[in-house]
């Protein structure tokens, strides 16, 4: 989806993807990535995800990127964080005690913006984008990320013909297609989440699976 679509979603407060609780897969699988203590974690398309607070509480530095000014403003305000704002290339840098969100377009990020990142937590980024943008996203992701960085990736799978995205269905083969050149892909967990998402059942889905992967530099 183009950035305008997401800006409008935030303006209209249509943010059903946002979780008030910390992500359970993050909590279950993060330690398996063996990120160095105090290391920096990149959170692409971060919204106002509270998972950034969880990562910071584990002692990691966090760098998110998000296109919606409402999301960025709300993240710091809702969590009672004093923020310093400066500019960083084409993006605006919002910062509070080791938590940074770069406000702007993911596609404007440069390698130097994420040069210190040793890991990535990527929830609901690929599924937010239509197929042509997913390819661009993955190519840009690989091109800017330090070659040693590992990723914990959370996606959704369903029969795409049953519902129009977003969220889009992003299957394992597709992920392999994007990332096999750079990463070994390992599926860590699959869970059926249709029952806890009645809205998607109403939109026509008969199956909805959440999948968790680890991407390790090849
Ligand atoms: C499905 S939401 C996921 C948010 C977050 N990862 C979470 O778990 O709550 C996708 C987010 O990506 C943001 N986004 C979409 N396109 C973007 C772009 N090109 N650059 C930066 N952020 C973008 C949207 O504003 C939205 O907040």
Q: How many domains does the chain have?
A: 1
pLDDT, residue 2, reads 83
Centroid of ligand 1 to alpha carbon of 69 (angstroms): 11
Centroid of ligand 1 to alpha carbon of 47 (angstroms): 5
Given a contact cutoff of 8 angstroms between Cβ atoms, the answer to whether 29 and 188 are in contact is yes
Distances (CA, A) of 1 to 142, 164, 168: 20, 12, 10
Per-residue pLDDT of the chain (218 residues; tens, 9 = 90+): 689 999 999 999 999 999 999 999 999 999 999 899 999 999 999 999 999 999 999 999 999 999 999 999 999 999 999 999 999 999 999 999 999 999 999 999 999 999 999 999 999 999 999 999 999 999 999 999 999 999 999 999 999 999 999 999 999 999 999 999 999 999 999 999 999 999 999 999 999 999 999 999 99
Given a contact cutoff of 8 angstroms between Cβ atoms, the answer to whether 102 and 64 are in contact is yes
Residue whose CA is at the smallest distance from ligand 1 atom 27: 47
Is the CB of residue 71 below 6 angstroms from any atom belonging to ligand 1? yes
Q: Which residues contact 3 (CB under 8 A, 6 or more apart)?
A: 67, 105
Among 217, 213, 46, CA closest to 142: 217
CATH of the domain at 200: 3.40.50.150
Is the CB of residue 121 below 6 angstroms from any atom belonging to ligand 1? no
Residue whose CA is at the smallest distance from ligand 1 atom 4: 47
Residue 3 Cα: closest atom of ligand 1: 16
Residue 71 Cα: closest atom of ligand 1: 27
Give the residue numbers spanning the domain of 79.
3-217
pLDDT, residue 1, reads 63
Centroid of ligand 1 to alpha carbon of 109 (angstroms): 14
**Distance, CA of 213 to CA of 122 (rounded, Å):** 10
Distances (CA, A) of 63 to 40, 166, 171, 174, 191: 7, 24, 27, 26, 28
Residue 133 Cα: closest atom of ligand 1: 19
Give 149's Cβ-side CA count (13 Å radius): 26
Residue 7 Cα: closest atom of ligand 1: 25
Ligand 1, residues 17, 45, 54, 139: which to mutate, most atoms within 8 A of Cβ? 45
Given a contact cutoff of 8 angstroms between Cβ atoms, the answer to whether 101 and 46 are in contact is yes
Residue whose CA is at the smallest distance from ligand 1 atom 25: 6
């Amino acid at each position: 989806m183009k950035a305008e679509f997401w800006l409008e979603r935030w303006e209209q407060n249509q943010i059903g993807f946002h979780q008030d609780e910390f992500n359970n897969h993050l909590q279950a699988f993060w330690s398996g990535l063996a990120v160095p203590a105090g290391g920096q974690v990149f959170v692409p398309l971060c919204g106002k995800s509270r998972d950034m607070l969880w990562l910071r509480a584990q002692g990691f530095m966090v760098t998110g990127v998000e296109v919606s000014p409402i999301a960025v403003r709300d993240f710091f305000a809702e969590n009672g964080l004093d923020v310093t704002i400066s500019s960083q290339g084409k993006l605006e840098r919002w910062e509070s005690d080791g938590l940074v969100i770069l406000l702007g377009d993911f596609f404007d990020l440069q390698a130097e913006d994420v040069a210190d990142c040793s890991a990535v937590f990527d929830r609901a980024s690929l599924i937010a984008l239509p197929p042509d943008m997913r390819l661009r996203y993955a190519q840009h992701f690989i091109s800017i990320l330090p070659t040693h960085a590992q990723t914990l990736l959370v996606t959704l799978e369903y029969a795409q013909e049953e519902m129009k995205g977003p969220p889009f269905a992003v299957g394992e083969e597709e992920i392999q297609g994007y990332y096999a050149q750079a990463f070994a892909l390992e599926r860590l967990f699959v869970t059926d989440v249709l029952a806890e998402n009645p809205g998607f059942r109403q939109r026509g889905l008969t199956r909805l699976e959440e999948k968790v992967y680890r991407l390790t530099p090849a």
